[in-house]
């Protein structure tokens, strides 16, 4: 199943006068272009989970988005904008001459993939939306429900620290840690690619676009909702989520209901990373979908 392997090729792609580093595994015309979550995370955790799919006849391409990993990290907050990131994805696709791709977006990468599909639908063979949402205001409601499971006293404590701006307080951080282990990755030990990505997190894009943590959305995407536009998608879509995902099955179902041609799969023992939490269940679902839509 998944294993860490070295990319077969590294590329440098210029975008907005800055350098992006792109990684490629395998070869051929069936390209799985991976957009990782964050924002502000290097692509290690998604790249290293899926690079082995080159053994299945796929070319797997991932890249460190601007501001992350080995790519340049400018300190200009105006760059942390989803429209600019869409142009970044298209620049990478054209620079590597990838042709029509299977576009996979995980978490924030799913919002980016949806936005890309709105503006570049003819460049996609399929769209794979992993552990993501099409409606962030609805997600915020779901996150309040998940926080509520900690108990009213803990929620009140969290709200007090959020109002005071003391999010680094040990009480608050303890609650966030518990939520992360419930709803981000339920493994007792998180895989090395995950800890590597998290250890190199650029909080600039993250706080500008999303907020201070996974359970508080106050950035420039807090009102983002593309369900209406998704109704016009004609490409086949695969939606995956985990039963315990922070981006909940209810969010996934809203996307499925908005789309014309979508399959939805919920992994019962996973939260936000079924490719690590349930790889033996996840990869057959993904590979079956890709096999049915080759060409």
Strand segments, DSSP code E, in the chain are 9-15, 18-25, 31-35, 59-63, 101-106, 124-130, 237-242, 262-267
- Which residues does residue 21 pair with via DSSP β-bridges, in sequence order? 12
CA dist 183 and 6 (Å) reads 29
Residues 6+ apart with CB under 8 A from 152: none
What six digits make up the tokens of 157?
């404590």
Catalytic residues: 107, 245, 272
* Pairing outcome for strands 59-63 and 18-25: antiparallel
- Long-range contacts of residues 21-24, Cβ cutoff 8 Å, at least 24 apart: 21/63, 21/64, 21/69, 21/70, 21/71, 22/61, 22/62, 22/63, 22/92, 22/95, 22/96, 23/47, 23/51, 23/61, 23/62, 23/63, 24/59, 24/60, 24/61, 24/96
What pLDDT score was predicted for residue 149?
87
Q: What's the confidence (pLDDT) of residue 216?
A: 82
pLDDT given for residue 16 in this prediction? 87
pLDDT value at position 176?
84
Cα(102)–Cα(276) distance, rounded to whole angstroms? 21
Residue 115 tokens read as 């936005």
CA separation for the pair 70, 80 (Å, rounded): 17
| 10-residue mean pLDDT series, the chain (295 residues) | 93 96 98 97 97 98 98 96 98 98 98 98 98 97 90 92 92 87 88 93 94 87 98 98 96 97 96 96 98 91
**Angle at CA 191, nearest 5°, toward 187 and 195?**
110
pTM confidence score: 0.94
Work out whether strand 59-63 and strand 31-35 pair parallel, antiparallel, or are unpaired: parallel
Quickly count helices (H) and strands (E) in the chain. Answer: 12, 8
Q: What is the pLDDT of residue 1?
A: 80
Per-residue pLDDT tens over the stretch 202-257: 999 999 999 988 778 999 999 999 999 999 999 999 999 999 999 999 999 999 99
Preceding omega of 259 cis (within 30 degrees of 0): no
User: How high is the pLDDT of residue 153?
Assistant: 92
């Amino acid at each position: 199943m998944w294993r860490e392997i070295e990319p077969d090729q590294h590329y440098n792609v210029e975008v907005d006068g800055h350098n992006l580093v792109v990684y490629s595994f395998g070869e051929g015309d069936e390209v799985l272009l991976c957009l990782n979550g964050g924002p502000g995370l290097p692509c290690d955790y998604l790249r290293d989970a899926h690079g082995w799919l080159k053994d299945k006849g796929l070319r797997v391409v991932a890249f460190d988005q601007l501001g992350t990993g080995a790519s340049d990290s400018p300190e200009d907050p105006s760059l942390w904008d989803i429209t600019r990131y869409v142009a970044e994805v298209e620049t990478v696709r054209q620079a590597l001459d990838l042709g029509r791709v299977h576009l996979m977006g995980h978490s924030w990468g799913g919002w980016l993939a949806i936005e890309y599909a709105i503006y570049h639908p003819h460049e996609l063979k399929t769209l794979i939306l992993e552990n993501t949402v099409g409606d962030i205001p609805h997600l915020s409601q779901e996150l309040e429900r998940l926080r509520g499971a900690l108990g009213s006293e803990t929620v009140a404590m969290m709200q007090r620290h959020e109002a005071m701006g003391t999010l680094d307080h040990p009480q608050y951080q303890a609650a966030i840690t518990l939520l992360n282990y419930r709803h981000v990755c339920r493994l007792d030990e998180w895989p090395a690619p995950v800890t590597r990505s998290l250890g190199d997190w650029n909080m600039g894009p993250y706080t500008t676009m999303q907020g201070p943590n996974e359970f508080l959305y106050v950035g420039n995407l807090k009102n983002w909702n593309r369900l209406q536009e998704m109704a016009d998608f004609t490409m086949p879509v695969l939606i995956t989520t985990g039963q315990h995902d922070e981006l909940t099955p209810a969010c996934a179902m809203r996307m499925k209901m908005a789309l014309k041609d979508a399959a939805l799969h919920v992994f019962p023992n996973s939260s936000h990373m079924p490719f690590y939490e349930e790889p033996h269940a996840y990869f057959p679902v993904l590979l079956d979908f890709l096999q049915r839509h080759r060409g």
